A and B are shown apart, each in its own frame.
Chain A
Amino acid sequence: MLVVMERIIWGIGVYLAVGVVFAAAFVAAGVGRVSPAARGSGWGFRLLIIPGTAIFWPLLAARWARPVIEPEESPPPVEPADEWVDPEKETAA
């Protein structure tokens, strides 16, 4: 049992080592493709997400490989409605 546990720990180590290598490329070039809010972000933020990238690198690699999704347009400033049309009346008409 302990032998199995030791092998699992080494497996985790190898997985994370691969993740760190991936993370170096991801924070340099891929993060902006995966998250629009990360575009133009500083190196402090990019260094901070390296550990998490090393954990979730298969997920992020899959997203990086997808076509770029443009960010959802910001909703326009909300103004009070001048008039509200009752949907029931509208349907009846």
Chain B
Amino acid sequence: MTNQFVWVSWNRHKKIYDAVLAAACALYLLCFVVGSFVFFDDRPDVMVMLIHATGTLAIILLHVILCIGPLNRLSHRFAPLLYNRRHLGVTMFLVALTHAGLVLLYYGGFGVVGPIHAVLFEGRSLTRLDAFPYELLGFAGLLVLFVMAATSHDFWLDTLSPRAWKGIHMAVYPAYGLLVAHVALGSLFDADGLIGRVLLAVGVAVVVTLHLTAGVRELICDASCWRPMPEEGNEKSGTGEWIEAGTVDDIPERGGRVVCLDGRERIAVFCYDGKVSAISNVCAHQNGPLGEGRIIDGCVTCPWHGYQYLPHNGQSPPPYHEKVPTYRVRVVNRTILLDPRPLPPGTPVEPAFFEAGPDDESLFEESGPLSDDSGPPPVAPHPPTSLSEGDE
């Protein structure tokens, strides 16, 4: 949450995460170096060994990064990995950059032509497989990773807008394709390349399978909580068409439920302290699923990075500025009714109240915009019934 930018918002979890990550990388490099001396008869060239060590480490880290997202969709036990994924991404880029730097130095340094020309273009041809400049694929992938690493700070999220930022960071998939092609083609020129190609194929299969599994599960989940979007002009009550969003008993106390509308719009409905509120399911930070979060300290807390929003107005608590759209809700006999039309981000909406007992038939509570000065002005009332009927 942005108030004043610092270079890294350290906390205990991030320190442990980074320490484990650094130790794992160091251990991998050490094992690779020791293994190269132990298992290969020919004493390997130290530079070539380091080039292979950093290259394989970078591609392994990239696979881990790509697996974290779908794993987290399948089980929230993986949420701690997601929490600090940006540090993992920057680490992967730095390892890949080291790999590229060593390649340029070893194969292109100290020559009569520039290292980039020597490595990427000298004696290369696009029409011959044995002379194909597979390094160009790696270079292009590295450029994409550079843009992603360079814009990983929340300053860029704020400056470029969350939508543009997310778009930039979705480029990890084209980069992955380029880097897989780089490694696969590069291993053709390696005497021991078969092992590398098999491991790469396993890695690609794991990434693809996890993404497909998570995607299918998401579709099934959406279908189970899907609600048809009311048609425009079909307003019978003067307050819009309301849709059912389950009962208050379906939602754990201080927990949420996701309702999926036509057009894949998702709404997060929360129950807390005998009240029901609804906000957009999409976190303003990185599109995290707010409906899968919980209410902590009175705020809806995103399960991905802990961004918080007050449930009745979709605003981050002061001094933060993030806002998400809100929705009007009613509770009728413990059934939650939802007006699916989003209100402007940060619009205060009175929560709907419900009693603890299930037998209170007199309950009919409705939420509506509050007469609150904070954030955007409350929405104008919907057209009265008579007007709607007159129009028809």
Contact = CB atoms under 8 A, between A and B. Distances in A.
Do A and B come from the same complex? yes
Interface of A: 1-2, 5-6, 9, 12, 31, 34-35, 37-42, 44-45, 47-49, 51-52, 54-56, 60, 63, 71-72, 74-78, 81, 84-88, 90-92
A87 B381 contact: yes
A61 to B, nearest CB: 13
B116 interface: yes
A49 B155 contact: yes
Given A78-B315, A78-B372, A84-B350, A51 B150 contact: yes
Given A9-B139, A35-B158, A77-B318, 9 more contacts: A2-B121, A38-B155, A45-B6, A45-B153, A48-B7, A55-B146, A75-B315, A87-B380, A87-B381
A85 B350 CA distance: 10
Interface stretch (B43-51, B185-193, B243-251, B363-371): B363-371
Contact of A84 (B158, B368, B382): B368
B132 to A, nearest CB: 11
B159 to A, nearest CB: 6
A66 to B, nearest CB: 13
B384 A6 contact: no
B167 to A, nearest CB: 14
Interface of B: 2-8, 116-117, 120-121, 124-126, 133, 136, 139, 143, 146-147, 149-151, 153, 155-156, 158-160, 238-239, 310, 312-313, 315, 317-319, 321, 346, 348, 350, 366, 368-375, 380-382, 384
B126 A1 contact: yes
B348 A37 contact: no
A48 B159 contact: no
A38 B370 contact: no
A40 B5 CA distance: 9
The A interface is mostly helix, strand or loop, or mixed, namely helix
Looking at A39, A47, A78, the one whose CB has the most chain B CB atoms below 10 A away is A78
A40 B4 CA distance: 8
Contacts of B139: 9
Contact of B348 (A12, A55, A78): A78
B4 A41 contact: yes
Given A12-B143, A35-B5, A52-B151, A6 B117 contact: yes
B178 to A, nearest CB: 14
A87 to B, nearest CB: 3
Contact of B239 (A31, A39, A49, A88): A88
A48 B369 CA distance: 42
Contacts of A76: 318, 373-374
Contacts of B3: 37
